[in-house]
Amino acid sequence: FCYNEHHCDPYAWGDTFPSCHPLLEEHHSPINLDYQMSRNESLGALHLEGFDTVQTGHWTLKNNGHSVVLQVGSGMSVSGGGLPGVYHTIQLHFHWGSLSTNGSEHTVDRRRYPMEMHIVNMKSIHPNVSAALEDPTGLAVLGFFVDVVYADNVHLGHITRKLSSVAYKGWKNTNNPTWLLLPEHNMSQYYRYHGSLTTPPCSPVVIWTLYEVPIYASWSQLEQFASEMYSTEEGEEDEKPLHNNFRHIHPTFSRSVYASRD
Ligand code: GRE
Ligand code: ZN
């Protein structure tokens, strides 16, 4: 699948992946988030386990041709905040724009942020992701908007420093980075709704948590994502940039979108 070319862009995903078809499925992501249209409900803060300690080893940064993915080892999980169970963290990845466009997937009051980070967690009762994709609440994804400021984000720097080592599709870097995953961050305000993967197969199995307060990156860090990455393999004749990897906005239909502010 692809984002920016004819015949394989997000509007055509449904031809190959039935669940991506907009008319057949009412649980698509992303959506526009609108505080006025949301239902206030105190769901409580999520409990993040293993995110605050320095992680050593078992990290693999990878370019899969659609995003930069950081696969994580065991030891990190998410629970609480109204989630039906404990979810183990499996990977995080990013969606971004180009040098002149913003690239978050969800929008807030129609505003698109420069970038969006997804931390993907799988319900711990499942042996693997394919089993989780059969469960309507099989995945819980934490979404963080990324806004641009003057200073580098030192935490994100652990990833941006390694982007050039995963410039082409299929490239991996398994250099055991040691770093703190998230900066100290206000995580008490978030949106919650039931939606889908934003990439094929678009399975409608995701409990989404979108934090209202963004994290930050410098312009040069965002620029590295937009300009250093390729969606093609090394040596391919038709070299293509990896950018604008976000799906279009979908209707909310009859779904409830909750705003939790504790
Ligand atoms: C993605 O590929 O972008 C993705 C996943 C899993 C959950 C949400 C999501 O792979 O956006
Ligand atoms: Zn994503």
The ipTM estimated for the assembled molecules is 0.95
Catalytic member of 6, 21, 27, 66: 66
Report pLDDT for 244: 97
Report pLDDT for 74: 79
pTM: 0.96
Evaluated on CA atoms 142, 143, 147, 151, the torsion sign reads positive
Residue whose tokens read 């889908």: 196
Report pLDDT for 6: 79
Report pLDDT for 179: 59
DSSP character for 182? S
C-alpha radius of gyration, the chain, whole number:
17
Supply 16's token pair: 């190959």
pLDDT tens, residue by residue, 75-107: 889 999 999 999 999 999 999 999 999 999 999
Omega before residue 201 within 30° of 0, cis: yes
Report pLDDT for 55: 60
67 with 90: CB under 8 angstroms? no
| Ligand nearest to C-alpha 132 | 1
Residues whose beta carbons lie less than 5 angstroms from ion ligand 2: 118
pLDDT tens, residue by residue, 148-198: 999 999 888 989 999 999 999 999 998 665 555 565 688 889 999 999 999
Report pLDDT for 177: 58
Q: d(Cα 10, Cα 13) in Å, to the nearest integer?
A: 5
pLDDT for residue 57 is more than 80: no
Tell me what percent of the residues of the chain surpass a pLDDT of 90: 78
Q: How far is the CA of 172 from the centre of ligand 1 (A)?
A: 19
Tell me what percent of the residues of the chain surpass a pLDDT of 70: 93
Report pLDDT for 162: 92
Higher-pLDDT residue of 35, 233: 233
Evaluated on CA atoms 48, 50, 54, 58, the torsion sign reads negative
Q: Point out which residues pair with 241 in neighbouring strands.
A: 230
Q: What is the mean pLDDT of residues 7-32?
A: 90
Q: What is the mean pLDDT of residues 239-260?
A: 95
Evaluated on CA atoms 145, 184, 157, 93, the torsion sign reads negative
Lowest mean pLDDT among 48-52, 124-128, 205-209: 48-52
- The chain-wide mean pLDDT, for the chain, equals 92
90 CB neighbour count, 10 Å cutoff:
19
User: Which residue's CA lies nearest to atom 5 of ligand 1?
Assistant: 197
Using pLDDT thresholds of 50, 70 and 90, give the confidence band for residue 122: very high
Please say if 66 is a catalytic residue.
yes
Q: d(Cα 90, Cα 59) in Å, to the nearest integer?
A: 10
